[in-house]
Copies of this chain bind each other. A is one copy, B any other.
Amino acid sequence: MTRIIRLLLSYDGTAYAGWQRQRQGERTIQATLEDCLRTLCGHPVTVHGAGRTDAGVHALGMVAHFHTPVDHPLTAFSKGLNSLLPPDIRIFEAREAAPDFHSRFSACAKMYRYDFCTGEVLPPERRLYMGHFPGKSLFDLKAVSKALHHLCATHDFTGFAHALELHEGGRGAVRTLLAAHCEPIPGLPGGWSLRLKGDGFLRQMVRIITGTVVEVGQGRRNADSVLEILAARDRRLAGKTAPACGLFLERVLYPEGV
């Protein structure tokens, strides 16, 4: 009988070309997991993730699943798998999933966090885990909150997505942003965390929203400009894409009971 194993995992994306297995054998999270699971299970394994993080993006609570006929105890897929994986990928939990579970299609929402620093100097011990936007003026959190408030609804987010990505069929580029907050990082002057929760995210959407609202916070554009970007559906009107290293997939949410 085939089991479906559901994994909760974290990774430091610094050394990886993103989640998805690449043709040329670049180092990716999916390929690393699949290689270790093949050793553990004795058969080729395909790992499905709840989302495909880009190169350099981190995850604190990625959910993934795979099928296997082997009857290993669940600890084989947590402790056992951790003993095979490099220390920058860690399994926090492995459990049996229902036959209809799919890490991506069963998910109802995702939470992302973008950490950044507006101080002149980027703290060296955080440099791999924050974007750096040095600015001379005070960071206007109120204006940022206003811009985020505008975004927090159901919109066509084409203007905040990678320009070469096509959004055809299904819901197109329409997504619902359920929550969006920016808060100072305690103990780190000039450090900010932007948290977004949504029913889905287009490619680079969190990083483009971040790049745009940072410009709002630094007085380089006004909060209402995000409404124009939404209306025009034109990526060129939005801000720069924030660097990958500040982005964390914090959590994948599923309906109750899943």
Contact = CB atoms under 8 A, between A and B. Distances in A.
A124 to B, nearest CB: 4
A122 B90 contact: yes
Q: Can you list the 5 inter-chain pairs with the closest CB atoms, starting with the nearest?
A: A12-B124, A12-B125, A88-B124, A90-B124, A90-B121
Contacts of A121: 82, 90-92
Contacts of A89: 124
Contact of A87 (B91, B127, B186): B127
Contact of A11 (B91, B124, B248): B124
A10 interface: yes
A197 interface: no
A91 B121 CA distance: 8
B125 A129 contact: yes
Interface string A54-76: 00001010000000000000000
Contacts of A129: 125
Interface string A111-132: 0000000000111110101000
Interface string A72-100: 00000000001000011111100000000
B12 A60 contact: no
B125 A58 contact: yes
A11 B123 CA distance: 8
A248 B235 CA distance: 42
B186 A90 contact: no
8 contacts: A10-B124, A11-B124, A12-B124, A60-B125, A82-B121, A92-B121, A125-B129, A125-B248
A175 to B, nearest CB: 26
Contacts of A58: 125
Given A12-B124, A90-B122, A125-B248, 11 more contacts: A11-B125, A12-B127, A82-B121, A87-B122, A88-B124, A88-B127, A89-B124, A90-B124, A91-B121, A92-B121, A125-B129
Interface string A224-244: 000000000000000000000
Nearest to A126: B12
A238 to B, nearest CB: 27
